[in-house]
């Protein structure tokens, strides 16, 4: 039976969006699926989104950068594709009725469109960590109330999602998220002090954008994933562990009360968890890379070092504190990572900036003044935490 889906891709020009469209193309070529694209949403990469529009002929193409609207219209002339730009247009595109939405806008910019998509009742394939970290329980409730669902496409959460058996959900002892360890897995702290942006974005296993690659290098990504896992699977911080697995073959594990531990394995290819979300509860046949354990020879595991990688410790503390703290962690990390990529602060200053911002808020102050709407509270926390993190970066520059 051929899978048929009407889809929108938010963040179509990023690594996850490109992988999504590539998977769709391969599945159509294989004759196992047929897709109708409603909307493609991009940031600033006009050339790539226009190329995607020529292939998929969506009803609308949106770029977040309003200054590129005229260029976008010119580039789409004759295709019969609507062009739009700006935050309002992004949210409108996310609100269009479809079967399935890839929510892959990076950073806090993805909060509003992800919420808009959740309100439509579609299946949300969630790659935007911030939506869960900043207001996960409310987002999940919003999707359920609209008749939709949220399926994670991070490889780690997809792994847990696939092996967590619903009848036994209350018998889960813990989940173990695996981490590649990033490019500095074996480096001493003193050596990491001199890390450059070029070194930090050179991930050994995955092809990702600059921000996500830096998050992997600091292990902030695993900290964010702990928060996501807590909300997605209803577990506390003390039942979520992290283990370093350099080969990135075992994507995560679920341990049950009877001592059984189940794991999902596969080559490090984002298209596999995307395919799971796209076809769920079915499975999509496509020319997927195959796992050859004999060729691999061995799989290794190491404890996660929260001394050399303090972002893990900070994220766990934020999760335990709850309230606004996970959102503060996320916002401060975004500011600090950008400052590092701009060569304004050092690699080790990323964690120091996040710690300083969390200490200033203690999970209480940054939401002051926001009303009771969960999205508005999350956005206010994000704005206030960013201001505080920028001030922390400024103090480091002045020191």
* Cα gap 347→363, rounded to integer Å: 25
Tell me which residue of 227, 230, 222 sits closest to 206, measured CA to CA. 222
CB-based contacts of 209-214 (< 8 A; 24+ apart in sequence): 209/14, 209/15, 209/106, 210/341, 211/106, 211/107, 211/334, 211/337, 211/338, 211/341, 212/15, 212/106, 214/337, 214/340, 214/341, 214/350
Q: Where in the chain is the domain with CATH 3.40.50.720?
A: 3-152
- The CATH code belonging to domain 322-394 is 1.10.1740.10
Contact 374, 112 (CB under 8 A): no
Q: Where in the chain is the domain with CATH 1.10.1740.10?
A: 322-394
pTM for the full predicted model = 0.90
Orientation of helix 129-145 relative to helix 374-398, angle to 10°: 180
- Name beta bridge partners: 242: 177
**Tens digits of pLDDT across the chain (399 residues):** 689 999 999 999 998 999 999 999 999 999 999 999 999 999 889 999 999 999 999 999 999 999 999 999 999 999 999 999 999 999 999 999 999 999 999 877 899 999 999 999 999 999 988 889 988 999 999 999 999 999 999 999 999 999 998 888 899 999 999 999 989 999 999 999 999 999 999 877 666 778 888 999 999 999 999 999 999 999 999 999 999 999 999 999 999 999 999 999 999 899 999 999 999 999 999 999 999 999 999 999 999 999 999 999 999 999 999 888 999 999 999 999 999 999 999 999 999 999 999 998 664 556 544 557 888 888 899 999 999 999 999 998 887
Per CATH, is 3-152 categorized as 3.40.50.720?
yes
* Cα gap 314→4, rounded to integer Å: 43
């Amino acid at each position: 039976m051929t899978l048929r889906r009407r889809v929108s891709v938010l963040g179509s020009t990023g690594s996850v969006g490109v992988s999504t469209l590539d998977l769709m193309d391969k599945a159509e070529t294989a004759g196992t699926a047929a897709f109708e694209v409603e909307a493609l949403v991009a940031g600033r990469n006009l050339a790539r989104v226009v190329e995607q529009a020529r292939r998929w002929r969506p009803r609308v193409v949106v770029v977040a950068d309003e200054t590129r609207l005229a260029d976008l219209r010119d580039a789409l002339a004759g295709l019969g594709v609507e062009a739009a730009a700006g935050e309002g247009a992004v949210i409108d595109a996310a609100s269009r009725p479809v079967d399935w939405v890839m929510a892959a806008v990076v950073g806090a910019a993805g909060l509003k469109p992800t919420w808009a998509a959740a309100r439509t009742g579609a299946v949300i394939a969630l790659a935007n960590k911030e939506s869960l970290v900043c207001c996960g329980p409310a987002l999940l409730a919003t999707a359920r109330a609209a008749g939709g669902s949220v399926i994670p496409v991070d490889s780690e959460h997809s792994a847990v999602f696939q092996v967590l058996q619903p009848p036994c959900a209350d018998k889960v002892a813990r989940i173990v998220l695996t981490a590649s360890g990033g490019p500095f897995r074996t480096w001493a702290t003193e050596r990491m002090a001199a890390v450059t942006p070029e070194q930090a974005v050179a991930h050994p296993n995955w092809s990702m954008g600059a921000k996500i690659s830096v998050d992997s290098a600091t292990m902030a990504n695993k900290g964010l994933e702990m928060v996501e896992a807590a909300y997605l699977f209803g577990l506390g911080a003390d039942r979520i562990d992290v283990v370093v697995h350099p080969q990135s073959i075992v994507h995560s594990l679920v341990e049950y009360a009877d001592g059984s531990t189940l794991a999902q394995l596969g080559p490090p290819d984002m298209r596999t968890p995307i395919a799971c979300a796209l076809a769920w509860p079915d499975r999509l046949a496509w020319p997927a890379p195959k796992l050859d354990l004999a060729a691999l020879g061995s799989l290794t595991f190491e404890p996660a070092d929260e001394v050399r990688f303090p972002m893990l410790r900070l994220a766990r503390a934020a999760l335990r504190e709850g309230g606004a703290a996970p959102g503060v962690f996320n916002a401060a990390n975004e500011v600090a990572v950008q400052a590092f990529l701009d060569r304004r602060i050092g690699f080790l200053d990323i964690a120091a900036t996040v710690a300083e911002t969390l200490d200033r808020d203690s999970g209480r102050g940054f939401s002051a003044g926001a009303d009771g709407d969960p999205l508005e509270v999350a956005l206010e926390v994000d704005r206030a935490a960013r201001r505080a993190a920028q001030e922390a970066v400024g103090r480091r520059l002045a020191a």
